[in-house]
Structure 1
């Protein structure tokens, strides 16, 4: 049991963190208008498909993470999540810098981050915290490196399991290092980092045509089977297409591999209807959300060796009801919401006669009901012309479920930009 003194100290630290978070977030009113430039959806600690550090957490170590922003600005801040932590998260120090290569950053670009004016911070259990604005100017599509010094034992870490980007770890305090020498461990997950926001002209709010686009979904949105460290998810491809066509907008990825619309999972995050507000609608500067989710709801029960158990059989009416909840939530926030048809799943471990029928019924509802504000038809765009039940071979990563890099590019090309 904690002593009264220790308990008071923990409570005071948590209160300080909350005050700092309010101060940092509240800076939007008198300082820059913040826009989310990069995001990752938090998950509870779990083993996952590749080794990661989430269950062990960190102790007296420095964590360095590389992300690519889809919007530029005169200043930047980070958002930290302890959403699944059961104790306060202590940040001894943090920096942001331009990425050089691997764990190395550009000399002279390192900026110390503060939280409510302090160099250290405490993120409350199940809470989140934004840093103050840094003076680092960022360009669209620039890679930035966020470094956290974790001098206390964190316990299991809130993280994003499948980053398809390399993160690095070092023993001791290397938060201000420009070089990569101390960072001798790596992983393909992100930890505690939920977002990077940018600020432009003081007090300027983005217009509707400039507001961010969130892509919400499962492993296909997350970028499963895309090339590591090459930014080949469909969110990357869409952001690049928008910029190339002269209509640049931030594109935020809110995918979680294995995620379901209707059910929670220890590995695959809270159900889509529960996390939609936090991971999509509440991001700064968002104007549109594209929803692509449901293959796991209807397909997990078809697999001989499912990683999600029990896997209930879900019908089209149940899945549609879940999507209607997402539509209502988006409209209540004044956000445009675009529905996507499910990709072909023939030949995959998600495929079966029942799943195929439910997928067809759901896709027809997306196309014809008019309940979404817009539609993007990935089912037809990626289908094999010789067999509409399957992904075209040139777009197939090999598991007949997830696209490859070319497939993700085809998804971005399939979007009618006017629908956004």
Structure 2
């Protein structure tokens, strides 16, 4: 298998897919691109839904019958776990999760219960029939804000089986898995609270940190939901506590054109009453733009005083006027801890492969922030106390440099034909590529798509994180840390990949860091397969790449090489397996390895550390990708 093309023969899917297929038609000398998918995207069982079932469905507010949140010092007013322990209203409010407020998680607006004063604030899932209120008529997914408790002390996940009933009589069942509130991982938690209240006290000395989780179930966007049957938990020792349920709109008009994943929560600045100006580069174009901000891993809300977007002329200087952004009509907004915020759409012509500048004013002191660590692009900041400089055109106020991307995680456009995600570690992140030159392999891949005359030009979203692993967290998922190599790809896939707009395909190129830090080939293989299954559940075609050689670099021992060989052998076998979960297997190892010393990178591709390809090696990766297979045409 050479040249990075899939060697799979006679491959077919065992289930339909909603992954984007691309149709191009020449119209008046232009290319009209449309993303389409088969009508039956999900396995749905049809039945006649009795009218009694429909009439029995109640809104969430009518189903709340348990109190799991209490004020500090009054823990007896709430009992989440059956032992008198409860969530602290004080810590929720400090995180910006206000009673009766709203937070966006996994691209889904969720209404928070009006907790406090002993009022019911959640329900234990027991097959209740839930009528969704204030949701779009067509949805991509339904999201649950939940946590689990157990009485057996094992800390194991809580599992339940529910179903979505469509208005046309279709029904599909789903499995919902929610971690235990005190023992579950922080890596994929929606919010980690520093303590819980107990029957004997409150504060740090009561119960340690506890967590709430957001979990999304994919829906068929072509069908209207009648109601949801809440999960039934078969284990009598476990309870699933649901605080909110919402639907994510089927936002077909939006396509990601630039994205980065939050890799950690680190000390910054401090920044106070100053403006950050962050450089981004589009991959596909559009006539309308919106910006995505995230406060991932945070313990406190952050205030955005103002924001803007502009084309970049040079450095922090704009080409033309900056366009102010608004948030629900206001010039600024507050992002709760763990929350997501979209700007209102603005009319901006953003061509493909165009540098732009996103500016955000931080009026209040920020000492720690969610960041993407390895920018490899130069970002800028004005001095503390310099005020709102978001509309500045000259660049003169921006006297400082920032080597990370804080808060800004995505740019989306209308008119785009969909997006491809590249999901990986520092090689995908481009940590050894030339600064400000856009020579990462996803950049080159986007350039190739843009140069093609007979293919559409989707967005290419680089969601690589330097130092990232498939199976284990680097950054622990909570607290301020010097480690910014991300939570595991398994923990971040739902937030970073499957909540992106318009994604039809993803390329997974990772696993070498797991092996370098002691994981076995079996663990890496299991993790890659799990990512593929997650992609299939969300109707995203998942391609996987063999692991590149790294002999001569730190931690790349003979044992690591043996494990790498096993992973690659397995993946190459998958290329011929018609039952594989992978849409294709690309042999990046064959592209990068030295023919005379196959455990090493080719000298001309080696950046110098024997682990990361330089610009030439990154270009070779991108040029080996079969564009037709990637887009499914």
CA contact (8 A) 1:90 1:154 kept: no
> What is the root-mean-square deviation of aligned Cα atoms in Å?
2.7
Q: Whole-Å Cα distance in 1 between the matches of residues 508 and 290 of structure 2? A: 27
| Partner residue in 1 for 2:230 | none
- Name the structure with the higher strand share: 2
SS state at 1:395 partner: coil
Q: Does 1:243 align with 2:450?
A: yes
CA shift for structure 1 position 367: 1.2
Q: Does 1:256 align with 2:465?
A: yes
- Change beyond 3 A, Cα 1:132–1:14: farther
| Partner residue in 2 for 1:406 | 616
Q: Does 1:340 align with 2:545?
A: yes
The one of 307, 311, 314 aligned to 2:519:
314
- Change beyond 3 A, Cα 1:22–1:11: closer
| Partner residue in 1 for 2:602 | 392
| Partner residue in 2 for 1:118 | 330
CA contact (8 A) 1:168 1:184 kept: yes
| Partner residue in 1 for 2:254 | 34
**For residues 198-251 of structure 1, what are the alpha-carbon distances to aligned partners after superposition, in whole Å with 9 as ceiling and x for unaligned?**
012xxxxx6xxx431100010000001101111010000000011112322211
CA shift for structure 1 position 144: 0.9
Q: Whole-Å Cα distance in 1 between the matches of residues 500 and 259 of structure 2? A: 8
CA shift for structure 1 position 91: 0.3
Q: Does 1:380 align with 2:590?
A: yes
| Partner residue in 1 for 2:625 | 415
The one of 530, 535, 542 aligned to 1:330:
535
CA shift for structure 1 position 418: 2.6
CA shift for structure 1 position 16: 6.3
SS state at 2:401 partner: strand
Q: Whole-Å Cα distance in 2 between the matches of residues 272 and 30 of structure 1? A: 25
CA contact (8 A) 2:286 2:350 kept: yes
- Change beyond 3 A, Cα 1:318–1:31: closer
- Name the structure with the higher helix share: 1
Q: Which runs of 5+ in 1 are unaligned?
A: 47-53, 201-205, 301-312
The one of 487, 492, 498 aligned to 1:281:
498
Q: Whole-Å Cα distance in 1 between the matches of residues 509 and 400 of structure 2? A: 34
Q: Whole-Å Cα distance in 2 between the matches of residues 13 and 143 of structure 1? A: 41
Q: Whole-Å Cα distance in 1 between the matches of residues 544 and 571 of structure 2? A: 6
CA shift for structure 1 position 29: 6.1
Q: Does 1:217 align with 2:427?
A: no
Output aligned runs, 1:5-404, within 5 Å: 15=101, 22=109, 33-46=253-266, 54-108=267-321, 110-171=322-383, 172-200=387-415, 210-246=417-453, 247=455, 248-266=457-475, 267=483, 268-300=485-517, 313-369=518-574, 370=577, 371=580, 372-404=582-614
Q: Whole-Å Cα distance in 1 between the matches of residues 607 and 370 of structure 2? A: 29
Q: Whole-Å Cα distance in 1 between the matches of residues 388 and 100 of structure 2? A: 23
CA shift for structure 1 position 59: 1.4
**For residues 85-108 of structure 1, what are the alpha-carbon distances to aligned partners after superposition, in whole Å with 9 as ceiling and x for unaligned?**
111110000000101100010123
Structure of greater Rg: 2
Q: Whole-Å Cα distance in 1 between the matches of residues 525 and 251 of structure 2? A: 41
Give the TM-score normalised by structure 2.
Answer: 0.58
CA contact (8 A) 2:96 2:300 kept: no
**For residues 248-282 of structure 1, what are the alpha-carbon distances to aligned partners after superposition, in whole Å with 9 as ceiling and x for unaligned?**
22111010000011111122110111101211122
Q: Which runs of 5+ in 2 are unaligned?
A: 1-71, 73-88, 111-134, 139-247, 476-482
SS state at 1:178 partner: coil
- Change beyond 3 A, Cα 1:9–1:291: closer
Aligned length: 390
CA contact (8 A) 1:99 1:105 kept: yes
| Partner residue in 2 for 1:51 | none
CA shift for structure 1 position 117: 1.1
CA shift for structure 1 position 375: 1.1
CA contact (8 A) 1:14 1:123 kept: no
Q: Whole-Å Cα distance in 2 between the matches of residues 194 and 94 of structure 1? A: 14
Give the TM-score normalised by structure 1.
Answer: 0.87
**For residues 74-128 of structure 1, what are the alpha-carbon distances to aligned partners after superposition, in whole Å with 9 as ceiling and x for unaligned?**
11010001011111110000000101100010123x1110111111111111111
